[in-house]
């Protein structure tokens, strides 16, 4: 089973890039890496996902190492509204299994 | 579009009572899911339905039953509520089993 390891919490200055790391050393060749975030007690929100290549969308960029054992989510210009819990997820037995995530605090 | 709608948003039960959480999506998605989230923890999958007419157990199915009533609706039933089932319950849906999940706003359940 592919599981993920993330730091418990991180701080980031407003306007700076937030780089959130994730280790997934047991990932299988055909498993995607997904990122979601949860603001307060709202339902989680999809951010981005990828398999091998780096991905970018309007919210963030996802950098996956060549050996696929780790990845980094990049929020290029963090704002106070990006304060949330960020979950890095690899599918386990065909199901999205959420870990504890990283609490990102964006500070002014 | 409303997206994923959960009812009720809040509920207080006594131990042993039963109740059903309702979930409906208007995005014509094939797959639907029920998660629970305990304070300070990530989400844990209770049950899921990869497509209409199928349901499967997730990580923590004990004490729950589900029904995929039709393509739009996926309900979660607690037959005999226990204090350990106090949690926030999230319903989600996706176009396919591999796709992005869209979550509802959650249902906050307290069992006394």
Bridge partners (DSSP) of residue B7 are B22
B97 touches A: beta carbon within 8 Å: yes
SS3 A80: helix
Contact (Cβ atoms closer than 8 angstroms) between residue B58 and residue B47 = yes
Q: Which helix (H) or strand (E) holds B66?
A: strand B64-68
Cα B14 to its chain centre, rounded Å, is: 20
Query: Which residues from chain A sit within 8 angstroms of residue B4, using beta carbons?
Result: 43
B25 touches chain A (CB under 8 A): no
Tell me: the pLDDT tens digits for B12-35? 999 999 999 999 999 999 999 999
The encoded tokens of residue B85 equal 């089932």
Cα B65 to Cα A3, B1, B2: the distances in Å are: 27, 28, 25
Q: Report chain B residues whose CB lies below 8 A from the CB of A97.
A: 44-45, 59
Residues in chain A: 108
pLDDT 10s digits, A29-84 = 888 899 999 998 899 999 999 999 899 999 999 999 999 999 999 999 999 999 99
Give the pLDDT band (50/70/90) at residue B39: confident
What SS3 string covers B32-43? Answer: EEEEEECCCCCE
- Reference B8, options B111, B79, B109; nearest CA is B109
CB of B64 less than 8 A from some CB of A: no
B97 contacts in chain A (CB < 8 Å): 94
CA of B98: which chain A residue's CA is closest? Answer: A94
- A44 lies within 8 A of chain B by CB: yes
Summarised one tens digit per residue, pLDDT across range B57-93 is 998 999 999 999 999 999 999 999 999 999 999 999 9
Is residue B8 reached through a cis peptide bond, with omega within 30 degrees of 0 on the bond before it?
Answer: yes
Angstroms from A3 CA to nearest CA on chain B: 13
Q: Residue B42: which of A43, A95, A98 has the nearest Cβ?
A: A98
Closest alpha carbon within chain A to B60: A97
């Amino acid at each position: 089973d592919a599981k993920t390891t993330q730091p418990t919490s991180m701080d980031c200055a407003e306007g700076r890039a937030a780089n959130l790391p994730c280790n997934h050393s047991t990932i299988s060749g055909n498993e995607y890496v997904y990122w979601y975030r949860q603001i307060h007690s709202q339902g989680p929100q999809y951010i981005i996902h990828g398999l091998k290549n780096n991905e970018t969308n309007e919210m963030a960029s996802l950098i996956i190492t060549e050996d696929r054992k780790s990845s980094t989510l990049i929020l290029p210009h963090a704002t106070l509204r990006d304060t949330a819990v960020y979950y890095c997820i690899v599918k386990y037995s065909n199901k999205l299994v959420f870990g504890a995530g990283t609490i990102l605090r964006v500070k002014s | 579009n409303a997206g994923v709608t959960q009812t009720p948003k809040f509920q207080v039960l006594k131990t042993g009572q039963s109740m059903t959480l309702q979930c409906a999506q208007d995005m014509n998605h094939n797959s639907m899911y029920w998660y629970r989230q305990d304070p300070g923890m990530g989400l844990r999958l209770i049950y899921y339905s990869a497509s209409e007419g199928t349901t499967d157990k997730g990580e923590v199915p004990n004490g729950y039953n589900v029904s995929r009533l039709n393509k739009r609706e996926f309900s979660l039933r607690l037959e005999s509520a226990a204090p350990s089932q106090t949690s926030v319950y999230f319903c989600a849906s996706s176009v396919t089993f591999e796709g992005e999940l869209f979550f509802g706003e959650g249902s906050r359940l307290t069992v006394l």
